[in-house]
Amino acid sequence: MTNDKAMQIPRLHPDTIEEVKLRADIVDVVSEYVVLRKRGKDFVGLCPFHDEKSPSFTVSQTKQMYYCFGCLAAGNAIKFVMELGKRSFIDVVLDLARRYQVPVQTLEPEQRQELQRQLSLREQLYEVLATSAQFYQHALRQSQGQKALQYLQSNRQFKEETIQQFGLGFAPAGWETLYRYLVDDKHYPVQILEKAGLIKPRKEGGGYYDVFRDRLMIPIRDVQGRVIAFGGRTLTDEQPKYLNSPETELFSKGKTLFALDRAKGGISQLDQVVVVEGYFDAIALHAVGINNAVASLGTALSLEQVRLVLRYTESKQLVLNFDADKAGTNATERAIGEIAELAYKGEVQLKILNLPNGKDADEYLHSHTPEEYGELLKNAPLWIDWQIQQIIQDQDLKQATDFQQVTQQLVKLLKNIANSDTRNYYVSYCAEILSLGDTRLIPLRVENLLTQIAPVAATYSKPVSAKKAWGGSKVSPLPIPNSPLPTERSLLEHAEALLLRIYLHCPEQRQTIIDELEERDLQFSLSHHRFLWQQILDIPVEQVDLISTLENIYLELSEDLGLVLHLFHLNEKWKIEIPRTPQVVQAAIACMDLVMMEKRYRHFLELWQQTDPEAEPERYQSYYQAFYAEKIKLQQIDRQRLFSITELL
């Protein structure tokens, strides 16, 4: 059973993997998801794997690697796409191979057909969706599409340039118009059309029918600009008013934002993203030059969508411009709820823009200039201010019940603000509101609010005594020399990591390291280091790109590369220290030797202490001699080498 399953997973030929890595420039790949700025030879940006306010994410074009000094994420272009999209190694390599036109080979010839099938499926989905978009655009210019074209030009006031830029089209009213065009004329397999979300099987009588009929069509694209789905607006009273493609292999509503492919450059340039509710709101903003706007897809803005779009802005400034009616306000509340944790922590600068007279962006721009919209955008209140206004709206604070209700809601809001300075500011602001203009009451209101939102006192663990830390031994073990590395584990980890880093980056030292380890009979103690070392020993000595080969091994075996990826990267400190490599190798070996001696010493000491000298005199004496011998070795070891390694680390 296991062997059958393994046979189903193609093993890619190393030449294919290397060719993908060669053609898929890491700056090109990462730039689709992260705003990168040139800094010296490298590029820097905000890490997409953890929330941060100042950039610690570095991309090296010369080494074709990324590294985050904050969360220690690191790897190549393949690893980046795998981690960001939670995708498999095979899937990512195939996707990049298709994108960069790399011929795919496998180690087993019998698997090539299955591999080509996997690759072909995604290719065919992209192709059939692109062909459908062209069909809809053509139909818009025919007599049957005149009503839709007039709607765009008159009702929406879109120019021809805008209609073409966004690929707007029309789905004819017939039940099988698109089906017949794609199957009969273009000869696409029916299964591909169904997987693309373009047709559905009839419940009775067999056959298929078009999903979109008699609708104005808006192509939905991924960040690379490829059509992955459609949104269709009815021009009649048919419900629903807007209809989206179903979820497919290429399209997930909660992970996609409309117009992001066109907006990512503007978002990066303006360091701000505007999120609107509808397709036409986003299109209207782009049409007048406001090119940092995206739209949600008829659902509440999700945390995944927010994280996706925030990759393109350093300041993490996001403006929600939803409708000001009840439905729009509810949508805004839901969106805030989704990202409240990020907003409370200040990890997103969230603002809320409600346009005058309850208009949406498209309607507003019909009678106002882009500059007027930009001014409203500039003065949009922070989400907390907006929330406060929602709480007090239509409430009579002179009435006891309303006053109590408002106070409770304000306290609930203020409690969640993590930053003390921000919280204190809003406590004073809310106190002013509750004082109803009587400044004498402000201190009382402040005290009342603070009493209700008093944060829980932080708790700290009681430090463990030195005796307990050493296990309560009767005889204290030999101390590790004064060092910034407080534990045996950390000392050993640093020493082993140091040797591995030097081995990876200094080919001239590799044989020396192997000889030293063999001479002293030393092994890597930590499992992740031991696994890496075993992979290193299995790779032929003449292997040119050792690091690249190791990355491929980890990715193909689905091993946890995160524990050792930092070893594949040299920061500025290590670039300076590398010239001292011979001394550092000796110091690292000494550390490993010392730690192992210390471990053996404590082991024999513990056995000696637990043995009854009267009941087992021979064993008692044997353990004593063993721990004493290790003690002598420890005293004889050159401590200076230990100090050199701890100072370096």
Task: Give the model confidence (pLDDT) of 478-509 as tens digits.
Answer: 333 333 333 445 667 778 888 888 888 888 88
Q: What is the mean pLDDT of residues 279-306?
A: 90
| pLDDT surpassing 50 at residue 349 | yes
Residues 359, 627: Cα–Cα separation, whole Å: 83
Q: Which two tokens stand for residue 131?
A: 């062909």
User: Is 466 a residue whose pLDDT tops 60?
Assistant: no
Residue 8 CB neighbours (<10 A): 8
Helix axes 546-557, 488-505, angle to 10 degrees: 120
Please compute the mean of the pLDDT values over residues 139-152 and round it to a whole number. 95
More confident residue, 82 or 468: 82
Give me the pLDDT at residue 632, please: 73
Nearest to 214 by CA among 298, 140, 130, 133: 140
The DSSP symbol for 455 reads P
Q: Which residue has the higher pLDDT, 113 or 338?
A: 338
Of 74-83, 393-402, 637-646, the least confident: 637-646
Task: Give the 3-state secondary structure of residue 74.
Answer: strand
Backbone angles phi, psi at 453, to 5 degrees: -110, 10
Q: Select the more confidently predicted residue: 518 or 105.
A: 518
pLDDT for residue 643: 43
* Secondary element (H or E) of residue 318: strand 317-321
Q: Among 168, 113, 161, which residue's Cα sits nearest to residue 140?
A: 168
Helix (H, G, I), strand (E, B) or coil at 479: coil
pLDDT given for residue 116 in this prediction: 59
Average pLDDT value for residue range 130-141: 96
pLDDT score of 1: 38
SS3 227: strand
Q: Class assignment of domain 115-251?
A: alpha beta
Tokens of 233: 């607006």
Laid out side by side, the sheet with 227-234 consists of 169-171, 215-221, 227-234, 242-244
Q: How far apart are alpha carbons 560 and 565 in whole angstroms?
A: 9
Write down the pLDDT at residue 6.
39
On whether the CB atoms of residues 73 and 569 are closer than 8 A, the answer is: no
The C-alpha atoms of residue 378 and residue 86 are separated, in whole angstroms, by 36
Point out the least confidently predicted range of 116-130, 166-180, 203-217, 280-294. Answer: 116-130
Locate the domains of the chain by residue range. 2-107, 115-251, 255-380, 389-453, 469-648
Q: What is the pLDDT of residues 580-610, one digit of tens each?
A: 667 778 778 877 877 777 777 777 788 888 8
Does the domain formed by 2-107 have CATH 3.90.550.10?
no
Distance CA 535, CA 553 (A): 8
End-to-end distance of the chain based on CA atoms, in angstroms? 49
pTM value is 0.60
CB atoms within 10 A of CB 102: 21
- What pLDDT is stored for residue 143 in this prediction? 94
Question: Under CATH, which architecture does the 255-380 domain have?
Answer: 3-Layer(aba) Sandwich (3.40)
- Across the beta sheet with 317-321, what order do the strands follow? 293-295, 273-276, 317-321, 349-352
Among 59-68, 293-302, 346-355, 366-375, top mean pLDDT goes to 366-375
Intrachain domains 2-107 and 115-251 with the same fold: no
